[in-house]
Structure 1
Amino acid sequence: MTTESLTATGRPRDNRIDEAVLEAARALLAEVGYADLTLTAVAARAQTSVPALRRRWPSKAHLVHQAVFPDDLAVPPRDPDAGLADEVETVVGNCVALFSDRAMSRAITGLLSDLVADDELQRELTARLRDVVWSDLEERFTRAALRDGVAIVVDPSIIVETAFGAALMTVVLRGSDALDDQWRATMSATLLAGLRAVGST
Structure 2
Amino acid sequence: MKFFSVIFLCLLSVTSSANNLSIDPDNLFPQVKLETSMGVIVVELDRIRAPLTVDNFLTYVVSDEYNNTIFHRVVSEFIVQGGGYNENFELKKILGEIVNESGNGLKNEIGTIAMAKESRPHTANRQFFFNVGDNTSLDPGRKWGYAVFGTVIEGQEVVDAMALVATDYNEAMGWEDVPLEPIMLIKASLLPAL
The TM-score, its normalising length taken from structure 1, stands at 0.31
Which structure would you say has the larger Rg? 1
More helix by share: 1
Higher relative contact order (CA 8 A, sep 6+): 2
